[in-house]
Chain A
């Protein structure tokens, strides 16, 4: 859905650098989800945030990864000290309410390449 904006679309980082991925949800949406996708695989859930709160981070590695969704501004997925295995497409989705029966709209993703 064109309403979810992710940037950058492509990001190249050397091993050990930090990667910052941004996601602006659909206007009015206060729920954001981050997913990771390896080539020819499905989307794996990482973290679910509501404004200023992390609701569920069960899919996010405990080390080096963090996410935030501040009151103002986009949601940020931060990966510190990147390694080659972090290379993947990272997708953000947003919805306007919590609960099941809620459609989530996806952005175009950020493709991270670690060299």
Chain B
């Protein structure tokens, strides 16, 4: 469901290291998932998506893993760069939600140079 009123967890990584951001989604019927990146003062920016018939999808420097058994989604960022510093949100979509995206609480990623 939607996590409102919670302070966001923070992940600090060294530049060049790999980052793993996790998300627990709530609806086992969700069939589409998106990771968004939100920089300060800006709107969410699409990073990568995955459908429920897949368990892994790769993009440029990013990989999304989906574990439907435990309703878990992760975003892996390879060779993290300072420009990756932002808040990352996962979002789920399902017919049960009326085809609207439901967002998780978000994780702050801080990249140390």
Contacts and interface: CB of A to CB of B under 8 A. Distances in A.
A100 B99 contact: yes
Interface string A32-51: 01010010111111001000
Contacts of B99: 48, 98-100, 102
Contact of B93 (A40, A42, A100): A100
A69 interface: no
A58 B45 CA distance: 24
B46 A105 contact: yes
Contacts, number: 80
B100 A56 contact: yes
Interface residues of B, number: 32
Contact of B46 (A1, A38, A42, A45): A1
Nearest to B6: A41
Nearest to A109: B43
Contacts of B32: 100-102
A5 to B, nearest CB: 11
Q: In terms of DSSP, what is the predominant structure of the interface of chain A? A: loop
B3 A42 contact: yes
B44 A43 contact: yes
Contact of A45 (B3, B49, B102): B102
B7 A1 contact: no
B51 interface: yes
Interface of B: 2-8, 30-32, 34, 36, 42-46, 49, 51, 89, 93-95, 98-106
